[in-house]
Amino acid sequence: MNQLSPNEFVEVEGAIRAATDAILSEQRPDGHWVYELEADATIPAEYVLLVHYLAETPNLELEKKIGVYLRRIQGEHGGWPLYHEGAFDISATVKAYFALKMIGDDIDAPHMARAREEIRKRGGAIKANVFTRILLALYGQTSWSNIPTIPPELILLPRWFPVHLSKMSYWARTVIVPLLVLCARQPLAKNPRDIHIDELFVPGVGAASPRAPHQSAGWSAFFAGLDKVLKAVPWPKGLRAVAIEECRRWTTERLNGEDGLGAIYPAMANSVMMYDVLGYAPEHPDRAIARKSVENLLIVKEHEAYCQPCVSPVWDTALVAHALMETRDEKANAAAARGLEWLKPLQVLDVAGDWAEEKPDVPPGGWAFQYRNDYYPDLDDTAVVVMAMDRARHSRLAQRQYDDAIQRGAIWVNGLQSRNGGWGAFDADNSYYYLNNIPFADHGALLDPPTEDVSGRCVGMMAQLGVPADDPKLKAGVDYLIQVQRDDGSWWGRWGVNYIYGTWSALAGLNGAGLKPDHPTMKKGADWLVEIQNPDGGWGENCNSYKLDYKGYEPAPSTASQTAWALMGLMAAGEVDHPAVARGINYLKATQEADGLWSQPHYTGGGFPRVFYLNYHGYPKFFPLWALARYRNLKSGNSRRVEFGL
């Protein structure tokens, strides 16, 4: 076998050691890791506007720092993009402009004038998406008639009804329920500075088309007609009161303490505004803790500040544990063990969350993405945590202390398999695609259907735990992954950008399930990764690859995280000796920085395709370490097969 030369071994080992030491220094005292999770201008802008909506006393220093952040990320096109170097986005730009004006920026300042010109050139603020128009309506900037009707009575409908909350994704549910109250009551922001953005509207220009690009003409026409009916219906006062009370009860039941409703910013902010419109005083325990959950998302630095969409401690800690165990370093293994001990009590064992509506007979056993989100654990985190604990119990890190946690986690993952053999992120069979055609769903992300990346992780978990290849559930998962592979050999990535992430995820799971390197599916996936490698030896892919008219890979600058995914995908496909892998390893060695880690400005995390993307600040740190350590292990060992499901 083609082993590493002594010089190559020393170089790779040095890179591994430097990265390991750096990551060990970032472990929190209680054993976990959590890295910044950055989105676009939308969330920090909304945070500023929330403070003034509620007429709170603003923290002027914090506002100043958020202003610095917003100005820095403004694009060369004059507006604000959804990701680094992305195209102009009218909704993000309207919110950023509004927030900066609220902070005190002069509207004639060059950056404001440029943004205003670009907004008006596109028809004005009224052309923004539904969520932005709701914010504008809350501030009295547009009529509620320009907002699709979502009556609070929706929460009272029986589960068999075609439009029902349980048929939507968890994130849609938690955002919509408090929003139902806001849209029914139609409150007006207190706005003590009396800031408005009339200059962003073009006289005579109507709202954006009710039909978004992803929506079909027939369904869109049907729901548009239904919206007109709903706007004209005189809702009985008694029924409305019952519906609003049910929205309040539903929200309060899932409030989730200081981690917030759904543990995501939009739901948290909506819950605060819901309590406000219902007359809850700021010091009321429910409103106060909901408001505190928003504050917990802030990242405040010396000169800048921004608000995160959520936090990722479970995800970060589990992935770091995998990377550290791959190093086979004694200190790294000890740190990974501390991380797993931190994770263990976060397993949700006593709450049957919303997922149980579809799978009532499955016992709880998952992990959430955030510190706490008991109603909404997810399959991806759970599979990754289970595989990390399984690795630990088969090493000197642990004996039997993880057995029960692994078993409960595996039962939960297996129980939430969808009928097509795949897995969604939070629910089973959340595939009511017609709902993406309702006017409110102009973002196209109302659902949580099975996806290739999550399914690859779940298949890998089952295989790593020793589930036999002929097990019906494992076989169905493998068949699903084979079926959804694209003609070019790649797989779509829902939660990471994009086909590189999906292809790594699928290849890792399929390798775990026993598919050999010469299997056509594995060969096609590996060939695609080799084909798209950049001349510098790395791999890169743009968020624009989620566009509806995607026709194939388009070159993009190399990033550390995407290079690591491609390398681990090739290694899972049995190609550790391929020259492309050596080139990729050389790219990582060449781009490693003085602190032992890597950085990247480009976003490689998926939120909602075409609408919302994420910059996981930890991804360029621990994924390259993982890839380097795996490369060294395979090249120095007697087997070229990756023995884990991830």
Read out DSSP for 151-208? -GGGGGS-TTSSS-GGGS-HHHHHHHHHHHHHHHH------TT----GGGB-TT--PP
| Closest listed residue to residue 534, CA positions, set 485, 497, 586 | 586
The DSSP line for 297-342 is: TEEE-SS-EEE-S---HHHHHHHHHHHHHHHT-HHHHHHHHHHHHH
The mean pLDDT of 635-643, rounded to a whole number, is 90
Q: What is the dihedral of CA 378, 383, 386, 390, to 10 degrees?
A: 180
Local structure of 617: helix, strand or coil: coil
Q: Look at residue 262 in the predicted model and tell me its pLDDT.
A: 97
Which of the pair, 359 or 219, is modelled with greater confidence? 359
The pLDDT of residue 396 is 66
Q: Is the pLDDT of residue 399 over 70?
A: no
Compare 189 and 3 and report the one with higher pLDDT.
189
Radius of gyration of the chain, Cα coordinates, nearest whole angstrom:
25
Phi, psi for residue 327 in degrees, rounded to 5: -70, -25
Tell me the C-alpha distance between 631 and 634, whole Å: 5
Which of 398, 516, 515, 413 lies closest to 462, judged by CA? 413
Q: How far is CA 296 from the centre of its chain?
A: 18
40 is catalytic: no
Judge contact between 478 and 507, C-beta under 8 A.
no
Closest CA to 183 of 235, 220, 221: 235
Which one of the listed residues 380, 381, 427, 453 is annotated catalytic?
380
Lowest mean pLDDT, pick from 221-235, 292-306, 469-483, 630-644: 221-235
Number of Cα atoms under 13 Å in the Cβ half of residue 159: 4
Confidence band (pLDDT; 50, 70, 90) for 638? confident
Helix (H/G/I), strand (E/B), else coil: 393 = helix
User: Which run of H or of E encompasses 419?
Assistant: none
Mean pLDDT in residue range 356-366: 97
Give the pLDDT score at 233: 80
How many Cα atoms are found within 13 Å in the side-chain-facing hemisphere of 564? 28
Nearest alpha-carbon partner for 501 in 542, 469, 441: 542
In this predicted model, what pLDDT tens digit does every residue of 65-123 receive, in sequence order? 999 999 999 999 999 999 999 999 999 999 999 999 999 999 999 999 999 999 999 99
- The answer on pLDDT for 602 being more than 90 is yes
Mean pLDDT, residues 527-551 taken together: 96
Of 205-209, 390-394, 532-536, which range is least confident? 205-209
Look-up: residue for tokens 């600040």? 617
Summarize the confidence of residues 607-617 as an average pLDDT: 93
* Residue 1: pLDDT over 60: no
The whole-number pLDDT of residue 384 equals 98
Q: Do 344 and 402 meet the contact criterion of CB atoms below 8 Å apart?
A: yes
CB 539 within 8 A of CB 532: yes
Question: Does the CA dihedral 458-461-465-467 come out positive or negative?
Answer: positive
Strands 298-300 and 305-307 come out as antiparallel
Side by side, the strands of the sheet bearing 37-38 are 37-38, 612-616, 605-608
Which pLDDT score is estimated for 216? 66
Q: Which residue reads 């008639």 in tokens?
A: 145
DSSP 3: P
Helix orientation angle between 619-636 and 579-591, rounded to the nearest 10 degrees:
130
- The answer to whether the beta carbons of residues 270 and 175 sit under 8 Å apart is yes
* Average pLDDT over every residue of 148-160: 92
**Do 408 and 365 touch, CB atoms closer than 8 A?**
yes
Domains located in the chain, CATH noted: 6-35+312-636 (1.50.10.20), 38-199+219-307 (1.50.10.20)
**Average pLDDT along the chain:** 94
Query: What six digits make up the tokens of 98?
Result: 């509004």
CA distances from 584 to 74, 319, 436, 457, 517 (A): 32, 21, 39, 23, 19
pLDDT at 207 over 80: no
pLDDT of residue 236: 86
Write the pLDDT tens digit of every residue in 437-471.
777 766 668 899 999 999 999 999 999 999 999 99
- Rounded to whole angstroms, the Cα distance separating 434 from 610 reads 19
Q: Is 328 left (phi over 0), alpha (psi -120 to 50) or beta?
A: left
